[in-house]
Amino acid sequence: MKIFSEELVAKAADVCHVADLSRATIGEVLLVAQYLEKETGIPFIRMDQGSPGLPVNQYGVEAEKAALDRGVGSQYPAAAGVPELKDAASRFVKAFLDVDISPRSCVPTVGSVAGSFGSFIACTQRIPGKNKVLFIDPGFPIQKSQLRVIGAEWVEFDIYQYRGTALRNKLEEMLKDGDIAAIVYSNPNNPAWICLEDEELAIIGQLATQYDVIVMEDLAYFCMDYRQDMGHPFQPPYPPTVARYTDNYILMLSSSKIFSYAGQRMALTCISDKLFERHYPALSERYKDAGVFGQTLIASILYMITSGCTASTQYAYAEMLRLSTEGKINFVEDTREYAIRADKMKKIFTDNGFHIVYEHDVTQRVGDGFFFTIGYGNMTGGELLKELLYYGVSSINLATTGSEQQGVRACTSRMREELYPVMQQRMRAFHQDHQE
């Protein structure tokens, strides 16, 4: 039996100005769920927004307080970042990726959203005629919205059918015209939690070099592939990364998920040293500067967007990175709760007729973590999103992430122990109501 009537859900969509629930954005689904909760007092199972669901890292909090007590709030921070954070970032990347990037090339940004926004601008303007972005989907919808803001074009494909060696031909098909400036993907993936493997990253890296394309690797869920124990500094196994296969890369490292520091909006763009130093006449002409990629990105682009990053938060991030590198924080273990939640949630869904949409990587089953994907029978993603709302469960349609598969994204971050029996009851009712 449905918890919310179709009429009430339709009213919620109308009041919240959601034109089409089946293709609603994360923010729109959130508004509808909040409206229904407020109107009825019935709690939702919130699987929509990927906001951290664990306590903030206290080492960061204390370091930020100490920085404010030292008076850093009275001075503008340097656009390139405070030295303590840049040094800590360089060492962190070496400790957990076994990749060498100098402190100069590690640049703080106001969350990875600002990092990708500035990087899109620099990448699409560096070479005339190379002005499109290629998305290896499914992916983060906001990044495409950023391209709308700057007026850049993009192309995309769903990787579902192109895993492993099949990726090469598909990528070459997309790159052969020579107009692709950058390739973007997240690893682990938002929303599917698939993980690109070394074989695939080698293909991406080799083709990026061949076609002079910059790879923007979004590592928001860094080391959160819990199938391996990657939480120990300077010890393998290390997460797979394109940085081993090309010099044309930008790594985006966020504090939001691995340290639950989302509210302070702090991340890093870690740029290959060779890319940082590359000179582009088109950038020099546009910005009337030296046209050196890294410096143009910092001084002529990122600074125009945010005027630098909050100084105290930079010290907080530096401290969390430093303690991780010294083995005093194990951020992988700190976030493993997400995998435990995913395992329990998946079982409830699959016991009640649902299936996992993105179920396999190349060599193994997709792991448990922050996100997973579910489908039900022959329902489209839009139909499933709406039907789940009637049963008090919010999610987002995979179609809004560039996926061609039918289903929805589920986020584990807001799940609580007392909600598992509630979810079980609601999904049992869903299954009973939808059996043919």
Q: Is residue 50 part of a domain?
A: no
Do 376 and 261 lie in a common domain? no
- pLDDT tier, 199 (very low <50, low <70, confident <90, very high otherwise): very high
Do 273 and 421 lie in a common domain? no
Q: Report the percent of the chain where pLDDT is more than 70.
A: 100
Task: Give the type of residue at 263.
Answer: G
Do 98 and 220 lie in a common domain? yes
276 close to 107: Cβ distance less than 8 angstroms: no
Q: Which domain holds residue 374?
A: 6-42+336-434
C-alpha–C-alpha distance, residues 349 and 245, integer Å? 39
Task: Give the type of residue at 80.
Answer: A
92 close to 321: Cβ distance less than 8 angstroms: yes
Do 171 and 260 lie in a common domain? yes
pLDDT of residue 111: 96
* Cα distances (Å, whole numbers) of residue 333 to 78, 258, 352, 404: 33, 10, 30, 34
Backbone angles phi, psi at 82, to 5 degrees: -75, 145
Burial class (CB in 10 A: 0-12, 13-18, 19+), 47: buried
Do 258 and 177 lie in a common domain? yes
Q: Is residue 225 part of a domain?
A: yes
Is the N-terminal amide bond of 188 cis, ω within 30° of 0?
A: yes
Do 134 and 253 lie in a common domain? yes
Nearest to 116 by CA among 219, 192, 224: 219
C-alpha–C-alpha distance, residues 153 and 150, integer Å? 9
Q: Is residue 1 part of a domain?
A: no
User: pLDDT tens-digit profile of 354-393?
Assistant: 999 999 999 999 999 999 999 999 999 999 999 999 999 9
Do 120 and 204 lie in a common domain? yes
pLDDT of residue 1: 83
pLDDT of residue 435: 85
Average pLDDT over residues 270-295: 98
Nearest to 412 by CA among 360, 385, 374: 374
Mean pLDDT of the chain: 96
Do 241 and 355 lie in a common domain? no
pTM score, whole prediction: 0.96
C-alpha–C-alpha distance, residues 272 and 248, integer Å? 7
The CATH number for 93's domain is 3.40.640.10
User: pLDDT tens-digit profile of 25-81?
Assistant: 889 999 999 999 999 999 999 999 889 999 999 999 999 999 999 999 999 999 999
Residue 184 reports pLDDT greater than 80: yes
Show Cβ contacts of residue 211 under 8 Å, excluding neighbours closer than 6 positions.
Answer: 175, 178, 180
User: pLDDT tens-digit profile of 255-268?
Assistant: 999 999 999 999 99
Angle at 351 between CA 345 and CA 352, to 5 degrees: 95
Q: Is residue 51 part of a domain?
A: no
C-alpha–C-alpha distance, residues 110 and 302, integer Å? 9
Q: Is residue 49 part of a domain?
A: no
For 99-123, give one letter per residue: b (16+ CB within 10 A) or e: bebbbbbbbbbbbbbbbbbbbbbbb
DSSP string across 223-240? T--TTS---STT-SPPPP
End residue of a domain, out of 274, 306, 325: 325
Q: In total, how many domains does the chain have?
A: 2
Listed in order, strand segments (DSSP E) in 255-397 are 267-271, 354-356, 371-376, 393-394, 396-397
Is the N-terminal amide bond of 240 cis, ω within 30° of 0?
A: no
pLDDT of residue 162: 98
The CATH number for 405's domain is 3.90.1150.100
Do 11 and 100 lie in a common domain? no
Show Cβ contacts of residue 288 under 8 Å, excluding neighbours closer than 6 positions.
Answer: none
Q: Is residue 48 part of a domain?
A: no
Backbone angles phi, psi at 17, to 5 degrees: 60, 45
Average pLDDT over residues 199-216: 98
Q: Is residue 330 part of a domain?
A: no
User: Which residues make beta-bridge pairs with 155?
Assistant: 134
Q: Using only the alpha carbons of the chain, give its radius of gyration.
A: 22
Task: Give the type of residue at 433.
Answer: D
Do 373 and 228 lie in a common domain? no
Other beta carbons within 10 angstroms of residue 70's beta carbon come to 12
Tally of residues, the chain: 436
C-alpha–C-alpha distance, residues 219 and 255, integer Å? 10
Q: What is the dihedral of CA 123, 255, 266, 103, to 10 degrees?
A: -60
End residue of a domain, out of 325, 360, 377: 325
End residue of a domain, out of 325, 350, 377: 325
In the chain, count H helices and then E strands: 17, 13
Do 155 and 281 lie in a common domain? yes
Query: H/E element holding 69?
Result: helix 58-69
Q: Is residue 257 part of a domain?
A: yes
Do 169 and 252 lie in a common domain? yes
Query: H/E element holding 382?
Result: helix 381-390
Show Cβ contacts of residue 23 under 8 Å, excluding neighbours closer than 6 positions.
Answer: 382, 397, 399, 400
Residue 436 reports pLDDT greater than 70: no
